Amino acid sequence: MNNKDVFSGITEAIFHFLDINEPWRFAVFLIIMAAGISVFEILFRYIKIRFMKFIHTKGYSPENWNLSLFKPSMRLAFFALIIRLTEPLFIISHDQQIILRITEFFILSLSVIFLFY
């Protein structure tokens, strides 16, 4: 199997996915994605403020504890989690599910790389 066959298989799976699913499924997916990212941002800011207050009450300098360094990796991991949670919303074949899982794995891998870099 050469690269051209793999690429044509992937594009065929994507077009088949677009033909099967209705537009309202994409709208619901986008709404869930936007709501999930908004909830993550609100939750992260709340935790950051509470953590800074806790560090300040312990007598440490809050400048030494910068939680914003973890935000990109946590955002990517949360994004992959939202993709996994909205997966049942779509009608997908086995090949499309494999492509989606590879995408989730790639996003989680980037998250881990950003976390430890």
| Residues 10-26 pLDDT 10s | 778 777 767 777 778 77
Supply the pTM of this predicted model: 0.69
Give the residue carrying structure tokens 């806790």: 54
pLDDT at 1: 58
pLDDT at 46: 93
Q: Could you tell me the residue ranges of all domains in the chain? A: 3-116
Which residues have CB under 8 Å from 104's CB, separation 6+? 80, 83, 84
What is the C-alpha end-to-end distance of the chain, expressed in Å? 36
Rounded to whole angstroms, the Cα distance separating 48 from 37 reads 16
| Residues 59-97 pLDDT 10s | 887 777 777 888 888 889 998 988 888 888 877 778 778
Q: Taking the CA atoms of the chain, what radius of gyration do you get in angstroms?
A: 19
In the predicted structure, residue 7 carries a pLDDT above the cut 80? no
Distances (CA, A) of 116 to 6, 18, 72, 75, 98: 33, 37, 12, 14, 27
Cβ pair 80, 104 in contact under 8 A: yes
In the predicted structure, residue 30 carries a pLDDT above the cut 90? no
